Amino acid sequence: MVAWRAFRPTRLLRRLVEGGVDFVVIGGVAVIAQASPRLTKDLDISYATDTANLEALGSVLIAAGAKLRMIDEDVPFVPDGRTLRGTQLLTLTTVDGDLDLLVDPAGCPRYEGLKASADRIELEDLPVLVASIDDLIAMKRAAGRPQDLIDIEALEYARRRRMKATPTRRGAAAPPRARPR
């Protein structure tokens, strides 16, 4: 019999939002939100590294019972702001499922640029920032795993669909000019 761990990404996202964490969704959940349904077993985020945000993130992780993932031994770990300040990548298990934290994901701009180009998307009535299609494609290209290559195709298709659905400014009628009085 296979034992499946609970994965409730919306609960994780709600914890982060309600905890005041400054973050952008990346990875599989972002691909689902931006392009097409697919399976994923964890939530990946990138986040701001200022002291206040690290403290907020640490508080959320402690409340979610975060533990290091893929570590057989029970290693002492407190996911507070001080610990987070010294990490670039953490893979965690929480009461709501697996959560991966990446400070600077390969292939994309630093956090402020990632955030600036992110799209605000409602996931089950919860507004969150999700990495843009272009940034997701760049991250997927940098990772280059088989699933990433499949995701790139879905993301490129989604980008083409959006471009067709968005009218271009070229050739559009100019807005009427105000008449002088």
Least confident segment among 75-84, 113-122, 144-153: 75-84
Token digits of residue 55:
């403290």
Q: What is the pLDDT of residue 172?
A: 44
The helices-and-strands tally (H runs, E runs) of the chain is 7, 7
CA dist 69 and 46 (Å) reads 18
Q: Which domains does the chain have, with CATH numbers?
A: 9-157 (3.30.460.40)
CA dist 66 and 94 (Å) reads 4
Task: Give the predicted TM-score (pTM) of the model.
Answer: 0.87
Average pLDDT over residues 75-97: 90
Average pLDDT over residues 109-129: 95
Residue pLDDT, tens place only, 150-171: 999 999 999 999 899 876 555 4
Average pLDDT over residues 106-126: 94
State the virtual CA torsion across 62, 31, 114, 161 in degrees, nearest 10.
-160
Q: What is the pLDDT of residue 173?
A: 41
